């Protein structure tokens, strides 16, 4: 067999260890009916010498009676095991096959091509790392080809191999290959596919499957087997966001209480601080236990038992994660749903929703639209029929902890179960965000009250200027974490105070301990934190005081909105943007709190300079190279700016 080595005869334990440590690739074959999916898998196994002799003899015998190759060896019979499949020459159910080479282990899912079995295809694709989409060279791109391509994209499969099959029936024509490639590329441009490759082959004859074809010298790419062995999937695994759905509480005796489950994503280490959702109780990891003993750290997708330092309430269905990197906890969300039942999806009808280890009652409160798989256009529809796909609003009776499916395929997926029959009727992928029309942008929201604000103060602006010897303004200090914003803000406040001025420091992190304690670290939530800061700064300025606002403020568009908010209350030019331009390498060296290390490890999500971009201001009022200047030099530069702009008398 192709994965044999000399270790088999000399050191069987070493061989088994080597085989155990090979990387596993899960892939599926899909496409329209009779495009050659089963034939391709059979040829792949046959040419890589992964079929046992008695199995091969049985297939050769069946090829004479039920084969579709005119009495010759029919590789499709290796996976089409049902009698009805062999009689019709099609795949009905999902067939799984396992094989390995010297480089990798593989699990193949052979999925059916008929429209009525789309639900079976979606099942096979749910755990796949890669999809091989077959296209019959005689027929080109068909409706089912598009449907399967859309589902693979929807299910977050990042690697797509488009295999244009049966090239032997079109005389191995390069023109035909290029035409189909162009047609498929035009359709796939509207899908979210990050890695796509095309190759011509003949699964029945073995051209470009394992061995390079002699009939297509114009194709200079790799064979299918070479591509399967070399495709890079290590970066596909989410090791940033620690998610541990609790499956079982293990209490064998009075001295042990462990929480069992499979790590959905991320890494956990002994001593890590954790939080349990939905209770939000915190503790630390005491031990990580497995059948083979204790581990110092564990990562997805290992099955482990965690013990905690504190006795806190935690049971099946709860989610263990890190305090600085938590999933969303809501009782409603938007999702793409593949309907799998004969009875249509009825909005408002109660169903059971199973996500990770938690089962919750709820309903599809609204069907936003159905997707036309041919055009990818949205179609208004009152319900979803069998195998149709649509975007829905799901409302549950209690909140669940989830991530967007694109970020986490485990915590972002769910199935819908009929409460009467207990059968699975749908599968869903949670979307990261709500629709544009539902998303609230607080920058543009008008006040709820229709009355004009009442001016209670009897102190005029001129009196304030005379008392403090200054014109109020906001100095917005922006830069990466570690650039020196808080240090510069504190030094500037001291300098102004010593000169008899009145100034207040407003720090973005301090806001998160109070009025922004409900905010996370997504782009929208960072913008909302700055919006609240801008409103506070405006109130401080209206009191005649200078406001020194220290915020990361990573995006230019949000900074400009903050400037507009402050200027609207005081007049144009009252908000000065000062960019602290220390590069990220210097900021990392200054990082005493270990924030960058935590961001690298995934403990802090959407961290500017690591996992979130930082956009330098397009036209700042002042640039401070804090990696080159001292704090005193930076403070003096800001003081000069304030005097030049007339804010200090």
**What does 422-480 look like in DSSP terms, one character per residue?**
--EEEEEEE-SS--TTT---TTSPPPS--SPPP------HHHHHHHHTB---EEEEE--
Mean pLDDT, residues 190-195? 80
Percentage of the chain with pLDDT > 90?
Answer: 35
Mean pLDDT, residues 484-512? 91
Distances (CA, A) of 94 to 19, 68, 110: 26, 20, 6
Q: Tens digits of per-residue pLDDT, 535-581?
A: 999 999 988 999 999 999 888 888 998 888 888 867 788 899 999 99
Q: Which is higher by pLDDT, 313 or 522?
A: 313
Q: Tens digits of per-residue pLDDT, 228-257?
A: 988 888 777 788 889 999 999 998 888 889
SS3 641: helix
Q: Is the pLDDT of residue 487 over 80?
A: yes
- Between CA 81 and CA 279 the distance in angstroms is 49
- Between CA 318 and CA 328 the distance in angstroms is 13
What integer best gives the mean pLDDT of the chain? 83
Between 189-193, 207-211, 266-270, 317-321, the lowest mean confidence (pLDDT) is in 189-193
Looking at residue 85, its pLDDT comes to 39
- Between CA 306 and CA 290 the distance in angstroms is 9
Between 216-220, 372-376, 497-501, the lowest mean confidence (pLDDT) is in 372-376
Q: How many Cβ atoms from other residues are within 10 Å of residue 248's Cβ? A: 13
Looking at residue 50, its pLDDT comes to 66
Angle, helix 174-188 to helix 143-154, in steps of 10 degrees? 50
Q: Is the pLDDT of residue 16 over 80?
A: no
Confidence band, pLDDT 50/70/90 cuts, at residue 381: confident
Which domains can be identified in the chain, with CATH numbers? 7-235 (3.40.50.300), 244-321 (2.40.30.10), 328-430 (2.40.30.10), 461-644 (3.40.50.300)
Contact 278, 612 (CB under 8 A): no
What does pTM read for this prediction? Answer: 0.61
Q: Tens digits of per-residue pLDDT, 142-191?
A: 888 888 888 888 888 889 999 999 999 999 999 999 999 999 998 888 78
Tell me the backbone φ, ψ of residue 284, rounded to 5 degrees. Answer: -130, 150
Q: Is the pLDDT of residue 107 over 60?
A: yes
- Residue 455, class by beta-carbon neighbours within 10 Å (0-12 exposed, 13-18 middle, 19+ buried)? exposed
Query: What is the sign, positive or negative, of the torsion defined by CA atoms of 78, 81, 83, 89?
Result: negative
């Amino acid at each position: 067999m192709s994965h044999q080595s000399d270790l088999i005869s000399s050191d069987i334990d070493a061989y088994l260890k080597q085989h155990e440590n090979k990387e596993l690739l899960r892939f599926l074959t899909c496409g329209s009916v009779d495009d050659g999916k089963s034939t391709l898998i059979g040829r792949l196994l046959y040419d890589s010498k992964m079929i046992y002799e008695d199995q091969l003899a049985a297939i050769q015998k069946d090829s004479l009676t039920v084969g579709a190759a005119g009495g010759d060896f029919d590789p499709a019979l290796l996976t089409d095991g049902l009698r009805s499949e062999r009689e019709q020459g099609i795949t009905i159910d999902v067939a799984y096959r396992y094989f390995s080479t010297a480089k990798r282990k593989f699990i193949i899912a052979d999925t059916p091509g008929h429209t009525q079995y789309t639900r079976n295809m979606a099942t096979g694709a749910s755990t796949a790392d890669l999809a091989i989409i077959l296209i019959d060279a005689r027929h080109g791109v068909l409706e089912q080809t598009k449907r399967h391509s859309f589902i693979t994209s929807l299910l977050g499969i990042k690697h797509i191999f488009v295999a244009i099959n049966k090239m032997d029936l079109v005389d191995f024509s390069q023109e035909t290959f290029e035409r189909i490639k162009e047609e498929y590329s035009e359709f796939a441009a509207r899908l979210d596919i990050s890695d796509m490759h095309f190759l011509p082959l003949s699964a029945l004859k073995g051209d470009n499957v394992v061995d390079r074809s002699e009939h297509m010298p114009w194709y200079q790419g790799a064979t299918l087997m070479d591509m399967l062995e070399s495709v890079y999937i290590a970066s596909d695994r989410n090791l940033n966001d620690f998610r541990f759905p609790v499956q079982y509480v293990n209490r064998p005796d009075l001295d042990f209480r462990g929480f069992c489950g499979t790590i959905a994503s991320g890494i956990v280490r002994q001593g890590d601080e954790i939080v349990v959702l939905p209770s939000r109780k915190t503790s630390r990891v005491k031990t990580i236990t497995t059948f083979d003993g204790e581990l110092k750290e564990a990562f997805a997708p290992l099955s482990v038992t965690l013990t905690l330092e504190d006795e806190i309430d935690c049971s099946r269905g709860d989610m263990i994660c890190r305090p600085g990197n938590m999933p969303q906890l809501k009782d409603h969300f938007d999702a793409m749903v593949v309907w799998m039942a004969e009875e249509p999806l009825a909005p408002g009808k109660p169903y059971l929703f199973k996500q990770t280890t938690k089962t919750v009652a709820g309903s599809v409160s609204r069907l936003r639209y159905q997707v036309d798989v041919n055009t990818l256009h949205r179609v208004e529809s009152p319900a979803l029929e069998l195998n149709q796909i649509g975007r829905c609003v799901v409302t549950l009776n209690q909140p669940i902890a989830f991530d967007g499916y694109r970020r986490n395929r485990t915590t972002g997926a769910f199935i819908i179960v009929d409460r009467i029959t207990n059968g699975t009727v749908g599968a869903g992928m949670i979307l990261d965000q709500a629709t544009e029309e539902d998303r609230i942008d607080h920058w543009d929201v008008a006040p709820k009250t229709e009355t004009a604000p009442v001016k209670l103060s009897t102190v005029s602006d001129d009196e304030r200027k005379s008392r403090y010897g200054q014109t109020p303004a906001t100095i917005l200090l922006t830069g990466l974490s570690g650039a020196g914003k808080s240090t510069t803000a504190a030094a500037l406040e001291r300098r102004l105070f010593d000169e008899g001025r009145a100034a207040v420091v407003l720090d973005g992190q301090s806001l998160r301990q109070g009025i922004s304690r409900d905010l996370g670290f997504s782009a929208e939530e960072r913008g909302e934190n700055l919006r609240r800061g801008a409103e506070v700064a405006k109130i401080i300025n209206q009191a005649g005081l200078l406001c020194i606002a220290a915020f990361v403020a990573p995006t230019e568009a949000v900074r400009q909105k903050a400037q507009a908010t402050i200027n609207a209350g005081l007049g144009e030019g009252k908000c000065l943007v000062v960019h602290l331009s220390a590069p990220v390498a210097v900021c990392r060296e200054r990082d005493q709190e270990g924030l960058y290390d935590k961001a690298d490890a995934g403990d802090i999500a959407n961290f500017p300079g690591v996992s979130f971009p930082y956009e330098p201001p397009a036209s700042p009022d002042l640039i401070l190279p804090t990696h080159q200047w001292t704090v005193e030099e930076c403070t003096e530069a800001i003081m000069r700016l304030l005097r030049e702009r007339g804010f200090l008398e």
